[in-house]
Amino acid sequence: MGVAPAPSRTVPQLPPSGPSGPPRFDRAHWLHVARETADDLATDAVAREQAGKAPFDEVSRLREADLLTLLVPAGSGGGGADWDTALAVVREIATADAAIGQLLGCHYVLAYAARLLAEPGSAEHIERRSAAGQWCWGGGVGRQEPRLALVRSGDGYVLNGRQSYSTGVLVADRLAVRAVSADTGEPLAVVVDPAGPGVRIDNDADPFGQRLAAGGSVEFDGVRLGSDDVLGPLSADEDVLSPAASLAAPLGRLVSVHLRLGIAEGVLGEAREYSRAGHSPWHPEWPAGSPQDPQTLAAYGELTVLTRSASALAAEAVAALENGLRAGPGLTYDDCAEVSILVAVAEAAAARAAHESTARALDIIGARSASARLGLDRFWRNARTHTLYEPVAHRLRDVGDYFLNGAHPAFKLPV
């Protein structure tokens, strides 16, 4: 990654689609589009990351490649792809630019939330509008303090409060956020137009990694919402939240898994290209990667095994999620718990792969990796920032409690 010339951004346009039917393009097509987009992002990834500007241009690249509408059903004007494909796309983008991978993954989860939480007719209406407008979604429906308050007013609602950090808000066309009903105390997912009156977005996030994820805080001051803007409940009570809606939590975590795998694969790819042209830090007279340099070979071998192992666990978790989504009303809470645990296992493995790869790749290259011109530090900073928001220790406790006590993981959406 990062050494190929920028490809043309011209991507084949989607052909017309009927009201229903199969996807207009298969998985191979979308992965090809994702690789072209990733190669494009890789050509200026270091300069863009160091500049730290809001990623309007990057979102335009995703929009031109039709990646924003990937998961929308073909009959509603989208790509009609499944989550297996969408996650592979996030991972490919993350190999070149982890922050844009996070932005895209967050978009997919929030745009898909209507299908999990809203009534079918309302969900279809939202998805059609999203596809027609090529909306980029931002926000977050994970628990935050202080809470946003939703108060009934006439035949609609009024939203007040401040959300301290939300991915994608600087560039979003629609926000999906978590608010609490003032009448019932029930947490609800709501959709907000960020360009509407009463919404103020602040570019006040200053993380040392994931700097292009367009994060910031959002203040809602008397924002009026219609009843159609309420997607559905986010209660952790199994009597309120259906098993199908419960899949929203492992779904969001699978995005984190593939983001971490993309970071690990991205840094190893760039380190490999540099090693092939450079020299071993342990034996300067030997070319890096040479059979004469066993330490370099052993290090690459160990990191490859670590990353490939995490990838295999991720594939198992994705297959379980897809089976859960296909089960529909037949899905049980036990089924959802099994999916959540498989995702937690994959998340822990992917976190280790990202941490180990981003740190040890610098050791393999040696002191030259400290050059700001190479920008290899961005991989470590991105991985560390992301995992600080989603600590792996929480997932390990879930896995241990399930293994020892059979306890279902709590429904908790990623921040």
With 0-12 / 13-18 / 19 or more C-beta atoms within 10 angstroms meaning exposed / middle / buried, residue 144 is: middle
- Count of alpha carbons within 13 Å of 160, Cβ hemisphere only? 8
Q: Which of 136, 155, 171 is the last residue of a domain?
A: 136
Q: What is the CATH number of the domain that holds 52?
A: 1.10.540.10
Classify residue 194: in a domain, yes or no: yes
What's the CA gap between 72 and 152, in Å, rounded? 31
The residue type found at 150 is L
- 174 pLDDT band, cuts 50/70/90, is very high
Q: Are residues 159 and 61 in the same domain?
A: no
Q: Quick one: pLDDT at residue 86? A: 98
Judge whether 377 and 359 are in contact, CB under 8 Å: no
Q: Are residues 53 and 194 in the same domain?
A: no
What's the CA gap between 59 and 164, in Å, rounded? 23
Judge whether 268 and 307 are in contact, CB under 8 Å: yes
Q: What is the CATH number of the domain that holds 304?
A: 1.20.140.10
Q: Are residues 247 and 379 in the same domain?
A: yes
Of residues 3 and 331, the one with the higher pLDDT is 331
User: At a CB cut-off of 8 Å and minimum separation 6, what does 130 contact?
Assistant: 69, 72, 111, 137, 174
Q: What is the mean pLDDT of residues 339-359?
A: 97
Cis before 146? omega within 30 = yes
Q: What is the CATH number of the domain that holds 195?
A: 2.40.110.10
**What is the DSSP track for 89-125?**
HHHHHHHH-HHHHHHHHHHHHHHHHHHHHS-HHHHHH
Q: Quick one: pLDDT at residue 281? A: 58
Is residue 258 classed as helix, strand or coil in its secondary structure? helix
pLDDT tens profile 192-209: 999 999 999 999 999 999
Q: What is the mean pLDDT of residues 285-306?
A: 77
pLDDT tens profile 84-121: 999 999 999 999 999 999 999 999 999 999 999 999 99
Q: Are residues 187 and 249 in the same domain?
A: no
Classify residue 35: in a domain, yes or no: yes
Structure tokens that stand for 394 in this block? 């929480």
**What is the DSSP track for 281-338?**
SS-TTSBTT-TT-HHHHHHHHHHHHHHHHHHHHHHHHHHHHHHHHHHGGG--HHHHHH
Which residues constitute the domain of residue 371? 243-405
- 18 pLDDT band, cuts 50/70/90, is very low
Q: Which of 233, 265, 291 is the last residue of a domain?
A: 233
Q: Are residues 51 and 191 in the same domain?
A: no
Judge whether 99 and 54 are in contact, CB under 8 Å: no
Classify residue 411: in a domain, yes or no: no
Q: Quick one: pLDDT at residue 278? A: 66
User: At a CB cut-off of 8 Å and minimum separation 6, what does 74 contact?
Assistant: 17, 18, 20, 21, 22, 23, 24, 80
Place of tokens 């970071």: 263
Place of tokens 């429906």: 141
pTM for the model: 0.90
Q: Are residues 257 and 394 in the same domain?
A: yes
Q: Is a pLDDT exceeding 90 seen at residue 260? A: yes
Q: Which of 136, 164, 197 is the last residue of a domain?
A: 136
What's the CA gap between 356 and 384, in Å, rounded? 11
Classify residue 386: in a domain, yes or no: yes
Judge whether 324 and 333 are in contact, CB under 8 Å: no
Q: Are residues 207 and 275 in the same domain?
A: no
Q: What is the mean pLDDT of residues 362-379?
A: 88
